[in-house]
Amino acid sequence: MSGIVGIFSKKKYKNVFPELYSGLYAIQHRGQESMGISLLAHEKLSEIRGKGEIANNISLDNISTLAGNVGLGYVKYRFAEDDKSLMPMPWLFYPKNSNFKNLIAIDGKFLDETSPEDVVNKLNSNNIDEIIEFINNLKGAYSIILVNGNRMIAIRDPYGIKNLCVGKKEDSYIVASESCVIESIDGQLCHELKPGEIYIVDDNGEESYFAKELSNSPCIFDFVYTARPDSSINGVSVYDARIKMGEILYKEHPVDADIVVGSPDSGLISAVGFSRASNIKYERAIVRNRYINRTFILPTNSMRKKGIRIKLNPIKHLIEGKRVVLVDDSIVRGNTIKRVIEILRESGAKEVHIRIASPQVIKEETFTFDVPDKDHLISNNRSVEEVRKIIGADSLGFISLEGLRQACGNKTYYENCFNGYNPLERI
């Protein structure tokens, strides 16, 4: 998951920190474990890195210390198996055969023992054929941004699992995990990197080279949960895809009810689609405490449970005596949905029907986001009816994998957690 932003300005005395800072905020939703902003100005490094969110680390007391015409920003989503002792990215390296300090941020994982230092040393080659050969042999799901005083290099893995996009603002070139970053700082979105694309920008301009494309399979869960709705992935609007998920959900699992409610926040848009398709009234009957972060990405189960209890609050007069359809993005462990159903029942709901805008999560995942061991997945080795009984719903329906693909433009996607297509299995 995580999120990375890189900015390179050809004007040596320009400070790109304001754009980098704003752009990083635009992807805070991709990780809250730690953050980092590092900039270079004439090889002088200024940076702030720390645990927690951006606002926990950058303040009026230290904001004036950050300046540079090139820089990287990073927000970290921690996997359970990650080394907790590692300092937050970006990392600083003094590579072989280079006179420049190098900053690198990596979103993703490699299948071999390749280290960030190995990557920096390889990417500092002046021979593009050597870089292409290195990427052809680097296996995994990753996106990479490397900057120094001379150039910025951005790479999308040849499987296309991790997304990266390129934009411009005046004399600055921007690379980011999501298109919303570029638009949030008034930049112009230029293109999404293609799988295996090696995008290089320096004082002379920009150019792209290409490793061998092995697939074009962005993670489909970005559409369901991870990405901001104002982003686009693979040429498909995330917002439009979520509306279509709700419409298809109703076609696949119709129900008679009085109101449709979205589970804040990532179920809200699909709930609108469900309402439109069913002609059942949509109500914002559950309010989310905006100061509570996503319970899904809290690192421990006890923290997630505590977060759920103070995260959501019902508007009771909209729910009392009603047959409620609750639309949510996914069910992983089942903690959140069980609590939301309890909240609706406590608020007087006559019936609670659950509709989920993704298929059952039945397989663990370690490359794109942290889905736990399958023994902790509520849908593992259980039928839909068995899950329904556990969570306490009157009915339960999941969108089919075919329906989800249709909502996302009928393209090829990385679908490992749903036991769907996974190009990495061919390695």
Predicted confidence (pLDDT) per residue in 149-189, tens digit: 999 999 999 999 999 999 999 999 999 999 999 999 999 99
CA distance 352 to 330: 16
**Fold of the CATH domain 3-216:** Glutamine Phosphoribosylpyrophosphate, subunit 1, domain 1 (3.60.20)
Select 229-418's CATH number: 3.60.20.10, 3.40.50.12780, 3.40.50.2020, 3.40.50.720: 3.40.50.2020
Q: What is each CA distance from 354 to 64, 315, 341, 386, 397, in whole angstroms?
A: 49, 18, 9, 14, 6
| Stretch 286-291: mean pLDDT | 79
DSSP sequence for 312-335? EEE-HHHHTT-EEEEEES--SSSH
Rg, the chain, Cα only: 22
| Stretch 8-23: mean pLDDT | 95
Predicted confidence (pLDDT) per residue in 347-359, tens digit: 999 999 999 999 9
Print burial letters for 291-324: b (CB count within 10 Å at least 16), e (below 16). Answer: eebbbbbbeeeeebeebbeebbebeeebbeebbb
Q: Which pLDDT score is estimated for 309? A: 54
Whether pLDDT at 23 is above 70: yes
Q: What angle do CA 382, 388, 390 make, to 5 degrees?
A: 80
- Which amino acid, one-letter code, is at 340? V
Where along the chain do the CATH 3.40.50.2020 domains lie? Answer: 229-418
275 labeled part of a ligand binding site? no
- Alpha carbon 274 to its chain centroid, in Å, reads 24
Q: Which pLDDT score is estimated for 60? A: 79
Helices (H), 376-415: 384-391, 401-407
Q: Which pLDDT score is estimated for 308? A: 58
CA distance 116 to 124: 12
Taking a C-beta distance cutoff of 8 angstroms, is the pair 142, 162 a contact?
Answer: yes
Whether pLDDT at 295 is above 50: no
Predicted confidence (pLDDT) per residue in 196-229, tens digit: 999 999 999 999 999 999 999 999 999 999 999 9
347 labeled part of a ligand binding site? no
Where along the chain do the CATH 3.60.20.10 domains lie? Answer: 3-216
Whether pLDDT at 58 is above 80: yes
Predicted confidence (pLDDT) per residue in 328-353, tens digit: 999 999 988 998 999 999 999 999 99
230 labeled part of a ligand binding site? no
Predicted confidence (pLDDT) per residue in 248-276, tens digit: 999 999 999 999 999 988 899 999 999 99
Task: Spell out where 289-420 has E strands.
Answer: 312-314, 323-328, 351-356, 395-398
Q: Which pLDDT score is estimated for 145? A: 98
**Residue recorded with tokens 């090139």:** 70
- Which amino acid, one-letter code, is at 205? G
